[in-house]
């Protein structure tokens, strides 16, 4: 029994669940924190599988500060609506100010020096 995919998703959810109301995080930001094989793409894939789970999925947006969600435009409307309900303001283009609403998990904001010493051979 290999490392279940569930664990892979759990690490993403674990972070998303910590996002307080009125705050947001980007896919890339989450991928950055998890590192090790996580990329914005994979994080987005995980969130897609989640959706109606017990995680505040609406607080995860793209780096532009908007709700991507491509085709399913109806979801974009829902997501932005939920966030506006939490006090987040979106401009006419559908973007919010990440410099204001972006949230940083405790213990992860400071990641300046991370030079691996055991880099093999």
Partner DNA sequence: CTCGTGACGGGGG
Partner DNA sequence: TCCCCCGCCACGA
Which residues are near DNA by CB under 7 A? 5, 26-29, 37, 39-45, 47-48, 50-51, 57-58, 60, 62-65, 68-72, 75, 79, 93-95
Question: Closest Cα to residue 34, out of 1, 4, 3, 8?
Answer: 8
Give whichever of 43 and 113 is closer to DNA, judged by the CB atom. 43
- Maximum pairwise Cα distance, the chain: 54
Distance of closest approach, residue 41 Cβ to DNA, in angstroms: 4
Write down the least CB distance from residue 52 to DNA, Å.
8
Q: How many residues does the chain have?
A: 121
Q: Which residue's CB is nearer to DNA, number 71 or number 113?
A: 71
Smallest distance, Å, CB 47 to DNA? Answer: 5
Comparing CB distances to DNA, the nearer of 35 and 87 is 35
Radius of gyration of the chain (CA): 15
CB closer to DNA out of 95 and 103: 95
Q: What is the DSSP letter of 58?
A: G
Q: Residue 104 CB, nearest distance to DNA (Å)?
A: 14
In this structure, the number of other CB atoms found within 10 A of the CB of residue 69 comes to 18
Residue 11, H or E segment = helix 5-16
């Amino acid at each position: 029994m290999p490392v279940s995919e569930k664990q892979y998703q759990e690490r993403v959810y674990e972070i998303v669940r910590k996002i307080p109301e009125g705050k947001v995080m980007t896919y890339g930001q989450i991928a950055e924190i998890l590192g090790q094989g996580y990329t914005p793409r994979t994080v987005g894939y995980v969130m897609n599988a989640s959706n109606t789970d017990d995680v505040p999925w609406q607080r995860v947006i793209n780096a532009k500060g908007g709700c991507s969600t491509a085709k399913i435009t109806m979801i974009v409307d829902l997501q932005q609506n939920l966030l506006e309900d939490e006090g987040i303001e979106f401009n006419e283009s559908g973007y919010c100010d990440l410099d204001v609403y972006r949230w940083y998990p405790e213990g992860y904001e400071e990641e300046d020096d991370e030079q691996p010493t055991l880099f093999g051979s």
